[in-house]
């Protein structure tokens, strides 16, 4: 592909920050096609020489310069200088401190959240639901599981999730086991066309995946949430990061890890 | 606390990029204490006014200026300009495109990875292990589960994990169900003192958590990995992000999502 531009993310640690920043900027050029290559742990003069050679070789092979996003701390000093002056202390210059040090308290907070969330996925357990910081509800395959895991893994939040099923729509009531935790509930809704597409990938040709059934379930779930006063968010055109962040924001949740 | 400095992360979208960048910089000032506040979805003139007022109020209350990291796209234009000139196209200026649009192919890749990883957590299933891109092995509580979930959620990688138990140490062989996938195995090791601390939190006073037993299990697991030629990584002082990124790098795994 002649229009494919190579992009390098280079870091002396994991490269996560360079990727985040770089991808955020590249998303502004959505008509272009990028070939992304992350090169982490570039932390010796030899590794730096290797990377420079690889970049030069790519430039020669493709006949144009690749883009390079680097979060090597030495180079980041131009950003650190004004911070040093504002904070009145010198920075530690330690390479990539962010993702590098495992803080014990944060480790335990994260593990507790992951264990809790896995144990309370898809209504698997109703024990200790009182400990949940949030309980996501919604129809099958609307995005509850990845959102719960993201909340646990990235924010250390104890996130349970519970499915709304046709039985609940007949009763027109919240399932008994979550009815007493109404202040912890947060609903996810989804466009029926999208839902049918997702369910078809899982159970092709089933009644469960049919558009008629998806329309019914989504409508009834939305009615139930309205009736019970449960705040809800449309997950259809949002990434998991965005859904999770929105829930933390709207539900006023306290993140446990940074 | 007089030395606690307030830091705002302000964004017209999720604030994730602003947090990543800001925390990366703040990690260079590890003798200081920061009070972090993320304000996402600042996308109207009214919301901007609200935030400005909040920042001013904080400055007045604390008697010094808070730090503000913003990823609002208008302000980021100074970074975009050189990219526009290098790429020869105008950027789309779309606010926070990165975390905002759910790409269908990436959604399915991520969901497939999450489902696979949950089904193959802690040796729960040995079905379809041939589909795994990586199989993490190690003693109980060494960090296999969070690492697997991170690989699935952030990279879309099909990551299984399998525990090494005292039975395996008696046999001095890999468990039968993973023996045939040796090229997919990646080991996690951990410092016995740290392991005993983690296990004590879960089963206080148990033989399982005792330092003597942790030393035995860790030593035997390391021997087994060496014997079988399984690459291994010490998880003790590394964050989950760093462990996951290192595995992707060392095992040459292909990430499925960006």
**Domain map (residue ranges) of chain A:** 4-80, 104-250
Please indicate if any CB of chain A lies within 8 Å of the CB of B54.
no
Query: Which of B13, B24, B79, B240 would you mutate first to test chain A, the one with the most A CBs within 10 A?
Result: B24
The residue among B175, B170, B151 whose CA lies nearest residue B233 is B151
For residues B108 and A257, give the distance between their C-alpha atoms in angstroms, rounded to a whole number: 28
Cβ pair B31:A89 closer than 8 A: yes
Range in A56-70, B68-82, B104-118, B191-205 the model is least confident about = B68-82
Q: Which residues from B are below 8 Å from A23, CB to CB?
A: 98, 258
**Prediction ipTM score:** 0.71
Cβ pair A241:B16 closer than 8 A: yes
Buried b (16+ CB within 10 A) or exposed e, A133-150: bbbbbbbbbbbbbbbbbb
pLDDT tens by residue, B8-58: 999 888 887 788 777 767 777 777 888 889 898 888 888 888 999 999 999
Residue A233's H or E segment, with its range, is strand A232-234
For residues A137 and B174, give the distance between their C-alpha atoms in angstroms, rounded to a whole number: 41
Q: How confident is the model at residue B97 (pLDDT cuts 50, 70, 90)?
A: very low
Please indicate if any CB of chain A lies within 8 Å of the CB of B96.
yes
The structure tokens listed for B18 are 């602003």
Contacts of B140 (CB under 8 A, 6+ apart): B163, B165, B199, B208, B217
Contacts of A250 (CB under 8 A, 6+ apart): A186, A231, A233
DSSP state of A255: P
Cβ pair B25:A67 closer than 8 A: no
pLDDT tens by residue, A185-239: 999 999 999 999 999 988 999 999 999 999 999 999 999 999 999 999 999 888 8
Cβ pair A21:B23 closer than 8 A: no
Chain B residue closest in CA terms to A84? B29
DSSP state of A66: P
Mean pLDDT, residues B86-106:
59
Question: Which residue do the tokens 């993310």 mark?
Answer: A9
Q: How confident is the model at residue B94 (pLDDT cuts 50, 70, 90)?
A: very low
The structure tokens listed for A120 are 């309370």
From B60's Cα to the closest Cα of chain A, the distance in A is 17
Cβ pair B32:A86 closer than 8 A: no
* DSSP H helix total and E strand total for chain B: 11, 7
Cβ pair B86:A99 closer than 8 A: no
Q: Which residues from B are below 8 Å from A240, CB to CB?
A: 110, 153
Q: How confident is the model at residue B69 (pLDDT cuts 50, 70, 90)?
A: confident
Nearest to A67 among B30, B86, B94 (CB): B86
Please indicate if any CB of chain A lies within 8 Å of the CB of B146.
yes
From A14's Cα to the closest Cα of chain B, the distance in A is 6
Cβ pair A92:B28 closer than 8 A: yes
Cβ pair B102:A65 closer than 8 A: no
Q: Which residues from B are below 8 Å from A245, CB to CB?
A: 14-16, 40, 99
Task: Judge if pTM exceeds 0.80.
Answer: no
φ, ψ at A78 (rounded to 5°): -65, -30
Please indicate if any CB of chain B lies within 8 Å of the CB of A119.
no
pLDDT of residue A179: 93
Please indicate if any CB of chain A lies within 8 Å of the CB of B114.
yes
How far from A144 is each of A136, A150, A155, CA to CA, in Å? 6, 10, 16
Q: Could you say which residues of chain A have pLDDT below 50? A: 1, 94-102
pLDDT tens by residue, B108-122: 888 899 999 999 999
Q: Are B42 and B53 in contact (CB under 8 A)?
A: no
Architecture category of domain A104-250 in CATH: 3-Layer(aba) Sandwich (3.40)
φ, ψ at B10 (rounded to 5°): -115, 135
Please indicate if any CB of chain B lies within 8 Å of the CB of A5.
yes
List, as ranges, residues 179-238 from A with C-beta within 8 Å of B: 197-198, 201, 236-238
Chain B residue closest in CA terms to A35? B258
How far from B146 is each of A240, B12, B152, B187, B244, CA to CA, in Å? 18, 30, 10, 14, 9
pLDDT of residue B76: 53
Cβ pair B245:A79 closer than 8 A: no
The residue among B149, B154, B150 whose CA lies nearest residue B117 is B149
Q: Which residues from A are below 8 Å from B155, CB to CB?
A: none
For residues A20 and A145, give the distance between their C-alpha atoms in angstroms, rounded to a whole number: 23
pLDDT of residue B100: 43
Chain A residue closest in CA terms to B6? A87
pLDDT tens by residue, B121-151: 999 888 899 999 999 999 999 999 999 999 9
Chain A residue closest in CA terms to B23? A98
Nearest to B97 among A27, A83, A91 (CB): A27
């Amino acid at each position: 592909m002649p229009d494919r531009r190579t992009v390098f993310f280079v870091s002396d640690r994991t490269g996560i920050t360079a990727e985040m920043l770089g991808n955020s900027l590249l998303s502004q050029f959505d008509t272009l096609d990028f070939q992304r290559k992350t090169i982490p742990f570039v932390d010796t003069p030899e590794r730096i020489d290797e990377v420079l050679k690889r970049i030069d070789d790519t430039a020669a092979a493709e006949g144009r310069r690749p883009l390079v996003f680097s979060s090597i701390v030495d180079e980041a000093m131009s950003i650190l200088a004004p911070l040093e002056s504002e904070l009145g202390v010198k920075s530690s210059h330690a390479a990539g401190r962010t993702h590098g040090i495992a803080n014990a308290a944060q480790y335990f907070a994260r593990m507790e959240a992951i264990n809790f969330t896995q144990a309370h996925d898809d209504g698997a357990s109703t024990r200790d639901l009182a400990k949940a910081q949030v309980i996501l509800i919604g129809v099958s395959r609307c995005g509850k599981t990845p959102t719960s895991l993201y909340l646990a893994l990235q924010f250390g939040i104890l996130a349970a999730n519970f499915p709304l099923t046709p039985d609940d729509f007949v009763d027109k009531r919240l399932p008994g086991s979550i009815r007493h935790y109404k202040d912890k509930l947060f609903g996810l809704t989804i466009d029926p066309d999208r839902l049918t597409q997702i369910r078809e990938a899982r159970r092709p040709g089933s009644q469960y995946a049919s558009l008629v059934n998806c329309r019914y379930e989504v409508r009834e779930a939305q009615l139930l949430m309205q009736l019970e006063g449960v705040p809800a968010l449309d997950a259809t055109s949002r990434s998991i990061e965005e859904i999770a962040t929105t829930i933390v924001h709207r539900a006023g949740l306290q993140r446990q890890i940074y």
